[in-house]
Structure 1
Amino acid sequence: MLLRVIVSESEIRRLPVEGSLSSVEELYQVLRTSLGLRGRFILQFEDPDFNNQLCNLTDIKDLPVERATLKVLFTADDSSDSTLDTCSLLSVSSGDSVKWPDPFPIPQFSHDVELQLKEANCRYIKDGSVMVIPKGLKTDILDILADSMSKITAYPERDHYEGVAKALVEKHPCLREPGSEKGWYSWFHSLKFKLGNYRQKLSAAGCPEVVINKRKGGCSKGKCVKKSKKGEVNYCPDPPEGECPENMEEKRQIMEAEMQKRDPDLQLLENLMVATFSQRRREIVGDQPPIAEIISRWPALFHERQIMAEFKRIVTVDLLESFLKGLDDLVPRILELYKTATKSGKKQSLKEILDCLGRDDTNEKRRAAFLLGLPYYISGEDPSNVIRMCDAHAENLDEAMRGMQLGILIGYEGERGAIPAEIFSVAVVVEETIVLHNIKGVAQGFAMLMGIIYCVNLEYPFAMKYSFEFIQRVVMKVKPDQASARSQREEQ
């Protein structure tokens, strides 16, 4: 397919695309990778059914098969006078489009490089001979690949490097490494080295994701690297095209004023939260302010609806859906493992939790038993400063939260027990402060706690780090391939 892409009045690009596109989201990825497009945008295409008038592209099947003209419309101002729900369209396209593509689309190299590769590929097909790669040619190839990779993330992971190296030699077999079983291992190492150097250029240019990396002060050794650790896709994104810090600060102030109203405009808040996402992440990730300051500057964030929306912007995964579905899939097997573990008589706390199910075996109680029992099943973890319970009518909440840096507070009525019979509400606590309350149920409370951890860029509580890793990687399936040996053992 051949695309004519109108980026602006002064920039109109010709872009050949190999193979067929399966979705509009895949097209977004191709444009971001090949043309270096940043920020949020929507696409329009010249529709031959309407005399080539522009129409919004919502289905890839609407696009002409062989040649098509696209127009890129950046949406930095978040205006929405269209009859389409552009806000919803935007959040989907911008979230999905930054996922690492598989397979990675190898970009077009400069004309002279492509000519050399074409001739060498012909020789490879003819007699299997690989190319003796001149140093300058290899540098040109690595520069283009590093630029394309950094437009997705400045910190690719090992499987990303491997995927790019593999895609490179599949597209240009003449570049295979002689004598190597895989044929691309040297390219893997060269890419890692090149990206390290390329990040220095990005830092000098002011790339937010790289600038926030700071060395420790004083005499301590090493670096305090602030980068994605828990599967964040949009960890510290660039600001939208055409936006500046002053504009986003103005929108933040509008949002802050709206939150002071008795009945704030929820749709306006949603639009402003999308528009100020990059500034919010830059503050939270880069400055690491205390929770009180975050609540003061971003009060709209601390509501269940916005926690879920922010989590999806960061991870591109639905928070509640991934949490509850993963939980329900695992509950039967994990509860059986709990029962087996209690037969030795060493896990009394776990036995008390299971005994509660004998009196109330509802799905909600089974979810609660899974979550409350997890730290006891994973030996050596103490949940006392992360999971606490208090009488719903207790007057001294400060005492109940004393020493809690991060966790959930379960308010109950009547008999307490290992799983309270009547749970009044659940609250999320950060730095001895309730940041989210009136949550219905233990499972939803844990889901919101995970959402807060991502939205405010917190570390997992050290006392329950394996439990939280298990929830992230095994239950929610966020970066499941990087689970520690201990988490994999507990799953089995």
Structure 2
Amino acid sequence: MDPLFGNEFMNLTSMDEIQDRGTIRMTSLAEGLTTQSSEAHSISADASCSFGLDDSTSRSSGCVDTDILSSPELEASCSSTSRALWPRVFCVPEFSFDAELKLEQGNAAYKEKGTLLTSDPELKSQILEGLIQEIVRYKIYVTDKDLNTVGEALISKHPCVTETSLKIKLASYCTHLRKLGWPEVVVDSVTHKPGGKSSAAFANKRPRRSEVNYCPPYPVGESKDSLETLRVELLSDVKKANNREVVRMKMEKTFAYRRHEVVCDTPIISDFQARWSALFEVSEINAEFKPITTMPLQFRFLSQIDVLSDKLTKVFKTRGGQIGRRLQNVLEPMDDVDLVHECIIKGLCVYLNEDPSNLVTEYVRSPEDIGIVIEGQRVLQDLDNCALAAAKLFGLMYTLNLTYPPELKYTFEVLQKLVMELEGNSLSKKAQVLKNRLYE
């Protein structure tokens, strides 16, 4: 844990970084649980700098760390449904004893004679069921690229296997989960859309940005009424002194209730802030982002900007033309070490041919006050610097289930996929070009 960043877990690059009596956590990479170590935006009114979203921001219309919830009670209640980030290398599970025996014989025949295994219906069913159970540990809605990685992993381990009809089986499994009332698939069903409209007529409500816990079930033993009672208690708890631990525990316990409200009801920011005032604290944005993505927000964001800053600066300086001249002006304050992060973030906007003034707006009234504005509502203030504000704004995109603003869609894509490394396999042309140049 790094005490300088609210005891967020950080990735170690050297044993020298471990402090005396520090807390460390071991994570198995083999299991794929890797700890990878708004809608016009302005940085705010009343401030020299404020980040925010104006009223034109469109709400989402459907738009690794594995310690998702820290309290023992919540961990116990959610252990069967908690998920992890999609692994870099998909690990094919062990199937039943007889299935493994048939596959072993098939692999031996393939190695000796090159003959493929003709799967009987029972074996095929066991393979599909085993793969599905492994897939849903990570996500319900799987892309074709994800399915390809599963197929490649299966054939790599069992080269005797041919086709598996995995996509059809997964669709059938989603239907089964919908009948069981699993909220992540129920919320996107036709019956839960206005007038029973189809997905084509009404935007999908499903994970789009590598959200691991997009719309989780309520904790075991809790109901909407009991969690609403906790929400009301939080309104007074947050005003009491030395009450941080009580607030933290109740915020953890009401996480699923809050996600249902954000995803299903898409409330306006002013109403949501009034109902969940405890959420709009710097530390709570970190805490809320963690169970949604299983990844720490603040430390990951700022440390990755540090890691990429030299490469990004080099790429920026090679850019010519009008954009190159704009980049020179943006990078000029980098001599001040406190402004390096801010210059890099603004430089990303310019390099991607987007206007950084849509993200950061500077005022003259109070240079020391840096805050975040969303839909005209000031949600955070008195932040230390613009880079921290950018990190929190990115976190609020997930916390409030906001869509990226059209004027900054490439900047936020790069922050998500190249900086935070959340689902970075599918990139737009602009983001892909930048990635290629970073690693030339």
Q: Which range, TM-score by smaller chain?
A: 0.7 to 0.9
- Please tell me whether residue 75 in structure 1 is matched to residue 52 in structure 2: no
- Please tell me whether residue 473 in structure 1 is matched to residue 417 in structure 2: yes
**Among residues 339, 345, 352, which one is paired with 1:365 in the alignment?**
339
Percentage of identical aligned residues:
31
Structure 1 residues 99-136: Cα deviation after superposition (integer angstroms, max 9, x where no partner): 33544242433x66556546545655664433222345
Q: Which amino acid aligns with 1:75?
A: E
Aligned to 1:391: 364
Aligned to 1:235: 214
TM-score by length of 2: 0.74
Counterpart CA distance in 1 for 2:411 and 2:105 is 55
Q: 1:228 to 1:313 in 2, by over 3 A?
A: same
**Among residues 256, 259, 275, which one is paired with 1:278 in the alignment?**
256
State the 1:29 CA deviation: 8.7
State the 1:451 CA deviation: 0.9
Counterpart CA distance in 1 for 2:318 and 2:187 is 47
Aligned to 2:402: 458
TM-score by length of 1: 0.66
Counterpart CA distance in 2 for 1:345 and 1:125 is 60
Q: 1:250 to 1:77 in 2, by over 3 A?
A: farther
Q: Contact 1:28/1:97 (CA < 8 Å) preserved in 2?
A: no
Counterpart CA distance in 2 for 1:27 and 1:257 is 45
Q: Contact 2:69/2:291 (CA < 8 Å) preserved in 1?
A: no
- Please tell me whether residue 139 in structure 1 is matched to residue 118 in structure 2: no
Q: Contact 2:316/2:324 (CA < 8 Å) preserved in 1?
A: no
Q: 1:95 to 1:425 in 2, by over 3 A?
A: farther
Aligned to 1:334: 312
Counterpart CA distance in 1 for 2:325 and 2:184 is 46
The residue matched to 2:321 in structure 1 has which SS? coil
Q: Contact 1:203/1:210 (CA < 8 Å) preserved in 2?
A: yes
Counterpart CA distance in 1 for 2:181 and 2:82 is 25
Q: Contact 1:319/1:451 (CA < 8 Å) preserved in 2?
A: yes
- Please tell me whether residue 354 in structure 1 is matched to residue 331 in structure 2: yes
Aligned to 2:298: 320
**Among residues 168, 175, 183, which one is paired with 1:200 in the alignment?**
175
Q: Which sections of structure 1, spanning at least 5 residues, go unmatched?
A: 1-21, 31-38, 43-72, 80-89, 178-185, 394-411, 413-423
Q: Which has the higher contact order (CA 8 A, sep 6+)?
A: 2
The residue matched to 1:460 in structure 2 has which SS? coil
State the 1:348 CA deviation: 5.5
Q: Which amino acid aligns with 2:172?
A: N
- Please tell me whether residue 251 in structure 1 is matched to residue 202 in structure 2: no
The residue matched to 1:435 in structure 2 has which SS? strand
Structure 1 residues 171-192: Cα deviation after superposition (integer angstroms, max 9, x where no partner): 5444x22xxxxxxxx33xx111
**Among residues 344, 350, 374, which one is paired with 1:376 in the alignment?**
350
Aligned to 2:279: 301
Q: Contact 1:338/1:350 (CA < 8 Å) preserved in 2?
A: yes
The residue matched to 1:391 in structure 2 has which SS? coil
Q: Contact 1:350/1:377 (CA < 8 Å) preserved in 2?
A: yes
Counterpart CA distance in 1 for 2:279 and 2:330 is 34
Q: 1:29 to 1:285 in 2, by over 3 A?
A: same
Q: Contact 2:68/2:82 (CA < 8 Å) preserved in 1?
A: no
The residue matched to 2:174 in structure 1 has which SS? helix
Q: Contact 2:410/2:431 (CA < 8 Å) preserved in 1?
A: yes
State the 1:464 CA deviation: 0.8
Q: 1:266 to 1:130 in 2, by over 3 A?
A: same
Between stretches 457-466 and 293-302, larger displacement belongs to 293-302
Structure 1 residues 185-214: Cα deviation after superposition (integer angstroms, max 9, x where no partner): x33xx1112111211111121111111115
Higher strand content, 1 or 2? 1
Aligned to 1:47: none
The residue matched to 2:141 in structure 1 has which SS? coil
Structure 1 residues 130-184: Cα deviation after superposition (integer angstroms, max 9, x where no partner): 322234542343234324422432113445423433443455444x22xxxxxxx
State the 1:330 CA deviation: 2.5
Between stretches 478-487 and 382-391, larger displacement belongs to 382-391
The residue matched to 1:428 in structure 2 has which SS? strand
The residue matched to 2:425 in structure 1 has which SS? helix
Q: In terms of Rg, which structure is larger? A: 1
Q: 1:265 to 1:335 in 2, by over 3 A?
A: same
The residue matched to 1:335 in structure 2 has which SS? helix
Aligned to 2:373: 429
Q: Which amino acid aligns with 1:488?
A: Q
Q: Contact 1:77/1:275 (CA < 8 Å) preserved in 2?
A: no
Q: Which amino acid aligns with 1:434?
A: R
Between stretches 459-468 and 314-323, larger displacement belongs to 314-323
Q: Which amino acid aligns with 2:341?
A: R
Q: 1:134 to 1:213 in 2, by over 3 A?
A: same
Aligned to 2:11: none
Q: Contact 1:209/1:236 (CA < 8 Å) preserved in 2?
A: yes
State the 1:453 CA deviation: 0.8
RMSD (Å) for aligned C-alpha atoms: 3.6
Q: Which amino acid aligns with 1:480?
A: G
State the 1:439 CA deviation: 0.6
Counterpart CA distance in 1 for 2:360 and 2:271 is 24
**Count of residues in correspondence between the two structures:** 375
Counterpart CA distance in 1 for 2:329 and 2:26 is 50
State the 1:463 CA deviation: 0.4
Q: Which amino acid aligns with 1:207?
A: W
Structure 1 residues 437-475: Cα deviation after superposition (integer angstroms, max 9, x where no partner): 111111111111111111111111110110111112222
Counterpart CA distance in 2 for 1:95 and 1:28 is 16
Task: Spell out the pairing of 1:387-426 with structure 2 (5 A cutoff).
Answer: 387-393=360-366, 412=367, 424-426=368-370
Q: 1:122 to 1:354 in 2, by over 3 A?
A: closer
Q: Which sections of structure 2, spanning at least 5 residues, go unmatched?
A: 1-24, 34-66
Q: Contact 2:178/2:186 (CA < 8 Å) preserved in 1?
A: yes
Counterpart CA distance in 2 for 1:167 and 1:349 is 46
Q: Contact 2:68/2:294 (CA < 8 Å) preserved in 1?
A: no
Q: Contact 1:25/1:96 (CA < 8 Å) preserved in 2?
A: no
Aligned to 1:310: 288
Q: Which amino acid aligns with 1:138?
A: K
